[in-house]
Structure 1
Amino acid sequence: MKNYREELQSRRTFAIISHPDAGKTTLTEKLLYYSGTIREAGSVKGKKNSKHALSDWMEIEKQRGISVTSSVLEVLYSGYHVNILDTPGHEDFSEDTYRTLTAADSATMLIDAAKGVEAQTKKLFKVCRMRGIPIFTFMNKLDRQGKDPFELMEELEDVLGIRSYPMNWPIGMGQDFSGVYDRHRKKIELFNPDDPKDIEVRDVNGPDDPLIDEIIQDPGLVEQFREEIELLDVAGDSFDEELIAEGKLTPIFWGSAISNFGVQTFLDHFLEMAPAPTPRESNQGEINPFDHEKFSGFIFKIQANMNPAHRDRIAFLRVTSGVFNRGMSVNHVRLGKQMKLAQPTQFLAQSRNIIENAYAGDIIGLYDPGTFRIGDTLVEDGSFEFDEMPHFSPEHFAAITVKDAMKHKSFEKGVQQLTEEGAIQLFKTYNKTIEQQIVGVVGVLQFEVLEYRLKNEYKSDIQLERLPFSFARWIEGDEQALEKFKRMQRNLVTDRDGRIVCLFENEFQMRTAQDKYPDIQFYENSYTKPIS
């Protein structure tokens, strides 16, 4: 039986980030396949396909063939306890992705070799870089014609500002793709285009081994491969574990997730190199799981109706230190009260099992009767709180009403629960005779998901009337300055905690207000002061 430190050393908790359509969900499913969790990986080729990715459990995801909410996938592989956070790639759901990244100790960055570094990858990479977590890169779709491998490495440095070290190297690409050479283990994995699952692995004595000529049987391809390896050895970055741990050097792996090629090699290397559970900052200093054996954790996600038949709500908690035991009492720091956690679950997307205990690094689900918020800290002993969640100002707004007044109660419940999930932000008009509810979102596709979920999960048809605003700013100031501002400024609303927010149609309007009222502070998010 493992002791506490051994349990921690076996944990790996990572997120997969990418631009839409880079193959992220496919890679996730192949990782599950190699762990023995599923016998056959799903497919997200389109809504007409009868199979769907296991990590895409929400009905709208299956219809659209996209991920709109983060999934948690927990598997055992080769002695490791692996927590995979599969995040939405679509930029309209980036806020959910950003929050999920706070629960990860490392990230796998998936890049389409034909397209290189794309816009959403840049945004997500920036969050990873801010957190200083190790980033492992999987260059995908090598069996299709793509950019030159050196060009892709240069793009990582020029666009993302990170150096790279290829752990293996492709031999050819597209129609000429013949396999990859493992630089560390001196092995060649051969790609069979007729049957990609048939992967032959051969040991060689380095890139100059004559055996490679026999295996590849394309003199031009072999010569090019040897020149590229020589260039990497002479001019490329050296392997440096310290720089990788600091997120300053990314190891690169080449392969094709859809063909199952290179995925197991990536997984084996990754699990050896990725960190065990890492420390988290709190208002009382760093909480290191290897030094702090009392349980603590934070809520990074809330999801309603994962099981529509039971209309339940689950709060996702990242265990940050110690051991969680089923039925234990913990301190809910924000509420300042003790609570018993009776039915903790672990996940395989929508599927879940009641668990008896969990260790730092694990993700557990807690039944939520409405007591949790994103960012809440739970501790076994003490009253410290972890740093707040990333939060973004909405960029799109709409007035929301329910079409059938008889459905008002279920409508209000649905809107409240989706707000607490972080799927939307809800505002109410300030000092208006008729109160109006306004929904704010980061991406317009969230409106579609909101409409779909209210109809299907809460049986409420809604009317959305788009509003011309693009910016929301939380305001603060002394009482006199605030009173003057409130008298003169239109388009004021309050958030769910009663704080005043000013909506602006454009940046010019916002800058004008800031210049006109120098005694007022304008904040991009709601977490500039404590939440009561």
Structure 2
Amino acid sequence: MVSQFSVLRKGLRTIQHIRWASSAKLAEHKELSKIRNIGISAHIDSGKTTLTERILFYTGRIDEIHEVKGKDGVGATMDSMELERQRGITIQSAATYTIWKDHNINIIDTPGHVDFTVEVERALRVLDGAILVLCAVGGVQSQTLTVNRQMKRYSVPCLAFINKLDRMGANPFKVLHQLRSKLNHNAAFVQLPIGLESNCKGVVDLIKQKALYFEGPFGMDVTEDEIPKEMRSEAIDRRSELIEHISNVDDTLGDIFLEDREPTVDEVKAAMRRAVIKRLFTPVFVGTALKNKGVQPLLDSVLDFLPNPSEVNNYAFHESGDRSDESRILMNPSRDGKSPFVGLAFKLEAGKFGQLTYIRVYQGMLKKGEIIYNSRTGKKIKVPRLLRMHSNEMEDVGEVYAGDICALFGVDCASGDSFVTDSKMRLSMESMHIPDPVISLSIRPKNPKDLDSFSKAINRFTKEDPTFQVFYDNDNKETIASGMGELHLEIYSQRMEREYNCPVVMGKPKVAFRESLVSPIEFDYLHKKQSGGAGQYGRVSGIIEPLGPSENTQVVFNDETVGTNIPKQFVPAVEKGFRMMTERGLLSGHKISGVKFRLIDGAHHIVDSSELAFILAAQGAVKQAYDLGNWHILEPIMAVEVAAPEEFQGTVMGQLNKRHGIITGTESSEGWFTIYAEVPLNDMFGYASELRSATQGKGEFSMDYSRYSPALPEVQAEIVRMYQESINIAQNQKAGKKR
């Protein structure tokens, strides 16, 4: 029996690989309408990587299925890093491409942890569409909200896929309600599940009004049948609901709906495609990737409803010009090769043969051996090798066209750089959003002899990941690493040991506090120095005032001077001096944010005034504002979501209250509860082990950055005290050296 099954599977895979081999040659030159660039995004453990593994299997891209953190020790194809396979999580976004029904699909599988959110940011920046995966039990969770915000930021249309129907407590109807209430999506079912949990048999296609069953080895055979009798009434109601939701945002289907005429399958599909591309409607599909149900119809829907590169408007700016809407240049996605090449480097990786640069081509074509220019630096680069990526495997190609995602070797650049083939055309693509780090740790190599390997690792990782930042603190004489969370920094420390044989010691976590002003304060500062020869003279006056809570991470400079008391050529020097002071506040040594520096008046000397004089005058003004004003410390507040069995609810709430958390909401479903809270990041260290011990290992939590908020008085007093102590120690050490 087993041998027959193996022969059958090998036969099926051979047929698929013959199909893949013949299709792969066509992949490079598909017309635009047959290309899809999609990302798979979701909260932690929603099944993104498992879904990608099934997509690659059904399209013939891989010949065997391996599970995330699988018992066979192989692990999923897209989790190529050893750490990813050991932990069963995705750390780096991974790219691949495959063929489905003569369409070329470029796929990027992204992490779910908030610590690696920049991987989702840069993936969504270059993609035309996305699949938002939701767990049928967990529903809309904290990182789902973050991913949804990111999709909105880059105007990425999406399909929703409710996964894990086979799990105990699966409730896709609750998830649909959350999609509408929490994410404000105009969403409706396109499929209904036939049975849930262990009874999950297939899905009902509401557009075709057919039941779909997934039979044969690994659910490869999709068979259509009549809708089960007990579901026919519900299917009719849900189809009417689907058409109504689309009619509300599509005039053509709306007219058919008002005429009380039954739309055809093609009319419903065309209307849905228009609404999805405009981000006015989110179709909801259901299935279970692990049990091989619902994946092939989802692939069909990617072709039917998500846009091809010609249906998405992408803009570039002149590198030296402004960023106003009027200066935007619309990219031409035509694959005729007549338009000059424009591409965006969205991800860097250190490969075996040097830096690997992932590029999305927005216009024109690029050939191997061609000369390209970095728009930011103007540097000329020859393209030695053009690649298509399949996870960590590379496949050489001769040329790439608009709409393609490819990789280059040996190109020295930064993440977010734009490339062109015409040196005169200094175009730069719209940049991606990079969140600020929220946590810092001191870091040093365990063995002082490993300093060389340590610096190589730091240089590589900071270049690859803009949210991982490292700097040397002169006051404390230690290297500080900043990142998006404890897991983020822990992963990099482990990678240094594994990839560079450089074990490191991490210090006590340091939170990225901020200093801000409580109420407006006027300043009038004169910097005057005359000690023979050319002197220094600069006077500035104005107001430093706090910004609102929604802007308390920003620093704003306003030039409100009238006349020539401060010549206009010295205003940038005043701004420079002010911004230099914001790098390190005088209250606790943290950055200043949430303030506006309004320069209203001042004075200059015809001989002694200089840029340096006004830089020092602005710095003196900020010091004066510290002496006279009322300042406070802001701390990052995290949106925390905790799920655990109901018997532990009181304990969990007590833990969060002890950590100065504010409960914002609770939910309860089938013996499990979910608590939503806002907790200062400074109080969240060590919470994972505390939650596990309090819930017998059954509780889990996730957190996402929410906002900055004023710290409690006792927290502020402790931070200021510790800062003063560190200053005193540094001064004593300095005095001791002099003696």
Larger Rg: 2
Q: State the number of aligned residues.
A: 485
Where do residues 339-354 of structure 1 align in structure 2 (5 Å cutoff)?
Answer: 339-354=381-396
Residues 1:374 and 2:415 are matched in the alignment:
yes
RMSD of aligned Cα (Å): 3.2
For structure 2, which runs of at least 5 residues remain unmatched after alignment?
1-24, 248-270, 319-327, 515-552, 558-574, 592-618, 620-632, 637-707, 714-739
Q: 1:183 to 1:401 in 2, by over 3 A?
A: same
For residues 245 and 253 of structure 1, what CA distance do their matches in structure 2 show?
Answer: 17
Identical positions, percent: 27
SS in structure 1 of the partner of residue 38 of structure 2: strand
Where do residues 185-334 of structure 1 align in structure 2 (5 Å cutoff)?
Answer: 185-190=208-213, 197=219, 199=221, 201-204=223-226, 212=227, 216=228, 221-222=230-231, 225-226=234-235, 228-229=237-238, 232=241, 236-238=245-247, 239-277=271-309, 278-284=312-318, 285-290=328-333, 293-305=339-351, 307=352, 310=353, 312-334=354-376
Q: 1:200 to 1:2 in 2, by over 3 A?
A: closer
SS in structure 2 of the partner of residue 240 of structure 1: helix
Where do residues 29-428 of structure 1 align in structure 2 (5 Å cutoff)?
Answer: 29-45=53-69, 48-190=71-213, 197=219, 199=221, 201-204=223-226, 212=227, 216=228, 221-222=230-231, 225-226=234-235, 228-229=237-238, 232=241, 236-238=245-247, 239-277=271-309, 278-284=312-318, 285-290=328-333, 293-305=339-351, 307=352, 310=353, 312-368=354-410, 371-381=412-422, 382-422=425-465, 424-428=467-471
The worse-fitting range, judged by mean Cα deviation, of 415-424 and 175-184 is 175-184
For residues 428 and 209 of structure 2, what CA distance do their matches in structure 1 show?
Answer: 47
Asked if 1 retains the 8 angstrom alpha-carbon contact of 2:58 and 2:220, the reply is: no
For residues 205 and 512 of structure 2, what CA distance do their matches in structure 1 show?
Answer: 49
Q: Deviations over 1:423-474 (max 9, x none)?
A: 65334346x3675321110121111211111112122121211343234668
Asked if 2 retains the 8 angstrom alpha-carbon contact of 1:177 and 1:191, the reply is: no
State the Cα distance separating 1:286 from its structure 2 match.
Answer: 3.6
Q: Deviations over 1:97-122 (max 9, x none)?
A: 11111111100011111221111111
Asked if 1 retains the 8 angstrom alpha-carbon contact of 2:348 and 2:356, the reply is: yes
State the Cα distance separating 1:169 from its structure 2 match.
Answer: 2.1
What TM-score do you get using the length of structure 1 for normalisation?
A: 0.83
Q: Deviations over 1:296-331 (max 9, x none)?
A: 1111111124x4xx5x32111111111121111111
2:52 to 28, 43, 50: 28
Q: 1:80 to 1:226 in 2, by over 3 A?
A: closer
For residues 2 and 198 of structure 1, what CA distance do their matches in structure 2 show?
Answer: 24
For residues 89 and 480 of structure 1, what CA distance do their matches in structure 2 show?
Answer: 40
Residues 1:18 and 2:45 are matched in the alignment:
no
For residues 580 and 242 of structure 2, what CA distance do their matches in structure 1 show?
Answer: 67
SS in structure 1 of the partner of residue 459 of structure 2: helix
Q: Which residue of 2 aligns with 1:491?
A: 589
What TM-score do you get using the length of structure 2 for normalisation?
A: 0.61
Name the amino acid aligned to 2:345.
I
SS in structure 1 of the partner of residue 511 of structure 2: coil
For residues 187 and 224 of structure 1, what CA distance do their matches in structure 2 show?
Answer: 13
For residues 272 and 710 of structure 2, what CA distance do their matches in structure 1 show?
Answer: 49
For residues 487 and 80 of structure 1, what CA distance do their matches in structure 2 show?
Answer: 56
More helix by percentage: 2
Q: 1:339 to 1:196 in 2, by over 3 A?
A: closer
For structure 1, which runs of at least 5 residues remain unmatched after alignment?
205-211, 494-499, 513-532
Q: Which residue of 2 aligns with 1:517?
A: none
For residues 5 and 44 of structure 1, what CA distance do their matches in structure 2 show?
Answer: 33
